[in-house]
Amino acid sequence: MRCPDCGAKNLPHARECVACGVELDEEHDGHEGEPDDRLGRVLDGRYRVDDVLGEGSMGRVYAATQLDLDAEVAVKILHPHVAADPKVAKRFHREARTASRLTHPNALRVFDFGRADEGKLLYLVMELVDGPDLHELVDTEGPLTPRRIGSLVGGVLEALEEAHDAGIVHRDLKPENVLVATDHQGREHAKVCDFGLAKLVEAEGSAITVTGFVCGTPEYMAPEQARGEALDGRSDLYAIGCLLYLLLTGEVPFKTSSALGTITEHLTKPVEPPSRRAPDRHIPFALERVCLRALRKDRDARFASAAEMRAALDAAVVALGPLADRPLGSFTQDPTRPRAPTPWRTIAAFTALVAVATVAIVVARDPRGPDGSAPSRAATRDAGVSAGGGGAADADGADPEGADPEDVDTEGVDTEGVDPEGVDTEGVDTEGADTEGAERLIARDVLDERDAGAGPGPELRDAGRRRVAQDAGARAAEGAAERAQTLFEEGRQRFLVNDVAGAITKFEAAARLRPRDAEIQKQLGRAYMRAGDVDAARRAYRRYLELAPNASDRSFIERILAGG
C-alpha cells in the first residue's frame, strides 16, 4: 500500500505508514488517479518528463527524453519533504556522484544530477530499462528454473562486487530495485537500481527512521542494519539471501503486519529452511544451503564477499546438471541432497553397535575364566568375537554357533522399541568396518582397568555419569545464552522505539541469564540514563567497566560516572 501523504510503500494491511506515521486506509492506494503536474514539463531545459514509471518513499521515477540527444532516460525526483532537508540534498549530490562511477553492466548507470525550482527540486538522471523488476517476474512467471535464478542473482552479485570494491554499500536491496532487461539477442540481464542512494538517509545511532522515512525495507533488512550499527557489504549479502529465498519459495523469510514486527523477526527468529516453507517446489539442497548461509544473523558467519557467494551459487547450479533447466517443483530427485542410507547399511550399522555393546557387557560382568583366573589379553584377542558371529571359538573351545542366547547377560541394555531403520548413520561408512577389532579394543580396555586394580569398573561408570552431567550442563548453558540474546535484541528494539521501560525489563532479564556480558550492562546503563534513574545507570556502567576493562569508550563512561 502507498501512503497518501508521502507516497511510501507499506506492507499490505499495514495500519500506519512506516515512513511518516499517517493512518492508512486499505481502500486508498496513495496517489492513484491524481494528476501529476510534472508531466510534459522540461527540467533545466534538457529533460522532458513523459510518464510515471514508479514511486517509493524517497521519490517518484519518470520516463523522460533528453532533448539534445533525443534519448530516452529515467529521471528520479525526490519528494518535496525529503529534498527540503539540506543534509539530504548534500548527501544526495555526493552519493549521485559516487554511483555515477559504477560502470558494471549489471548496475544501472547514473548520467546526471540537477536542481530545479530554485534548488527545491532535486533530480537524478539514469539509464532507462525496459523490463519488469524481480518482484513482477516472480508474480507473473511463477517458479523459475535454478539456472535462471542463478543467472539473475549472480548478476546482482557481480554488480555488488564492483560497488563494494568502491566502498559503496547499497543498503536497500530488494526485488523492486532489481530490473530485468532483455538484450537484442534475447538474453536476460539483472540491473541493480539506486546504488548508494540509501546512504543519504543514514544517521548516527539509527538506520531505521531519519527525516520521517525508513532506511531500508523491513523484509530485506539485515539484523545489524535494524540495530543501527555500521554496515558493510555483508549486510547487502543478507538482503540477497532474502531475495534468493523469495525466488526459491515465492515468499520472503519474515513478514508480519507491521514493520517493527518484521524487523524483530529478522533479529530473533530462526529462518525456516526454504524446502520446509515450500515443500511442493522440491528446492535443491545446494541452493538452499547458499540461501541459508547468506541469512545467518551473525555477519561473520555469512559469505565474506559477493564474489564468494556468487562462486557458491554457480557451483550449486552446476551440481544440478540437466535439472538446472527445469522449473522448481517439476522434479523430485535432487542430486545435491545427501542420500539416506540404504536399509542393508542401516541394519549392518545397528547390528555392529549392538554386538559391540554386548561384548563390553559380557566382559565387564564376568571377566574371569572357569578356574577363577583372569583371562590373558592374548586369549581375549584370540577369541575373535565378531559382529557377524565369525569368530571360530572361545578360550575353552566352545562353538559360538551353538551358544545358548539365554546365557548372554544383557541386563540393563534397553533395546525395546529400537528401530534399525531409524538409526541415523548418514555420513558413517560401515562398509568394510572392522567391528571385530573394535570389540577387542573395548574388551582390552576393560581388562586394563581390572589389571590396574580398578575392580568391577566403577571409575568407568562414574566417568560416564560425569560426561552425561557435563553434556546436560553445556546444553542448558547454550539454551540460556540463546534466550539471553533474544531478550537483548528485543530490548534493543524497544529502546529504538523509545519504549524505555520495556527495554529495561528485557535487558534486566538478559543480564540475569548472562551476568558477565559487558554489552548488556552497557545497554542497561543507557536505558536507565534515558529513564532518568542515574543511580541505576551508574551501577550498570560500573559493572560494564569491570567486565570490559579495556573498553574503547572507557573515558566517556568514566566521565558519566564522575557526573561530567
List the catalytic residues.
172
Residue 49: phi and psi, rounded to 5, are -80, 120
SS (H, E, C) 142-179: CCCCHHHHHHHHHHHHHHHHHHHHCCCCCCCCCHHHEE
Three cell numbers at 83?
529534498
- Compute the C-alpha angle 284/286/291, nearest 5°: 95
Hey, what's the torsion of the CAs at 541, 546, 551, 554, to 10 degrees? 50
CA 49 to CA 43: how far, in whole Å? 8
- Whether the Cβ atoms of residue 544 and residue 528 lie closer than 8 Å to each other: no
Residue 25 neighbours by CB distance under 10 Å: 10
Quick one: which H or E segment has residue 53? strand 47-55
Of 188, 212, 257, nearest to 79 by C-alpha is: 212
CA 178 to CA 186: how far, in whole Å? 18
- Whether the Cβ atoms of residue 284 and residue 274 lie closer than 8 Å to each other: no
- The residues with which 203 forms a beta bridge, in sequence order, are 206
